[in-house]
Structure 1
Amino acid sequence: MEINNISNIQNQYEQTRQESEQIDAGELNDNLTKLAANNEDEALKAAINDFMSIFMQQMFQSMRNTVPDDGIINGGYAEDVFTEMLDEEISQTGSEQGLFKDINRQIYQQLSGE
């Protein structure tokens, strides 16, 4: 019984993760549509920020895939879920700070024609 519950939870998590990726891409598409329709600077900044957040999340995921997983303690599925959620939160916060803020500014300047 317990194995079936874990399997169901894993399936639900994978489905939710895929839906959240589609939402992120959908939000980015919506922001770009707003930009095309209204040519607003705020919509452009939001789209750039969303892009940088997705970029950072993909970067973290790629970096983690290069690290061997076999250690003394294996967190298993729960650790994978936590790590993915942590990466998402860090990428959303980090896309507005430091070097990424400068990259956002440069992308904005290029796209806005400044």
Structure 2
Amino acid sequence: MRIDDTMTQNTMILPQMQKNRMEDGGFQTKLTAAMSAKDQGRLKEACQQFEAVFLHMMLQSMRATVPKSDLFGADHGKEIFESMLDQKLSENMAEAGGTGLADMLYKQLRTQVPAAKGTEQG
């Protein structure tokens, strides 16, 4: 088996692809869909996704401040794992209420999305 820079390049692409996926599927698309469908549930989902992206960026920034140690050596697998861990943690934090950013956004934006019949604006 030939080991060269291709393997290293592929492992570095994964975190970037995850970041792009979070941004591409993003807040603006879901927000527009919720507005046009007049769907409060989709609006709430979009707000939670925005908070998750914000928290993910915050976790990445926090992790970048931690001094690197050569004790265990540099490992691309560890970097990928940490990136995926941060992503999942941020999603779970946003679903659990996180910083309250999603709720504040939702309260601001729900007035612009009229409630459909049978739904409440609470």
Task: Give the alignment's TM-score, normalised by structure 1.
Answer: 0.81
Structure 1 or 2: more helix by fraction:
1
| 2:48 match | 49
| 2:8 match | 10
| 1:108 match | 106
Q: What is the alpha-carbon distance in structure 2 between the residues aligned to residue 72 and residue 22 of structure 1?
A: 32
The aligned length equals 110
Name which one, 1 or 2, has greater alpha-carbon Rg.
2
Instruction: State the SS of the aligned residue for 1:95.
Output: helix
Query: Gaps spanning 5+ residues in structure 1: where?
Result: none
Task: State percent identity of aligned pairs.
Answer: 24
Cα pair 2:14 2:80 within 8 Å, conserved: no
Runs of 4+ in 1 over 4 A off after TM superposition: none
| 1:37 match | 36
Query: Gaps spanning 5+ residues in structure 2: where?
Result: 112-120
Q: What is the alpha-carbon distance in structure 2 between the residues aligned to residue 48 and residue 61 of structure 1?
A: 20
CA deviations 1:52-87 (Å, max 9, x no partner) are: 111111001100111110242235211111111111
* Structure 1 residues 84 and 35: CA distance shift in structure 2, 3 A: same
| 1:60 match | 59
| 1:87 match | 86
Query: In angstroms, what is the RMSD of aligned CA positions?
Result: 2.0
Counterpart of 1:53, as a letter, is A
Task: Give the alignment's TM-score, normalised by structure 2.
Answer: 0.77
Counterpart of 1:44, as a letter, is L
Counterpart of 1:64, as a letter, is R
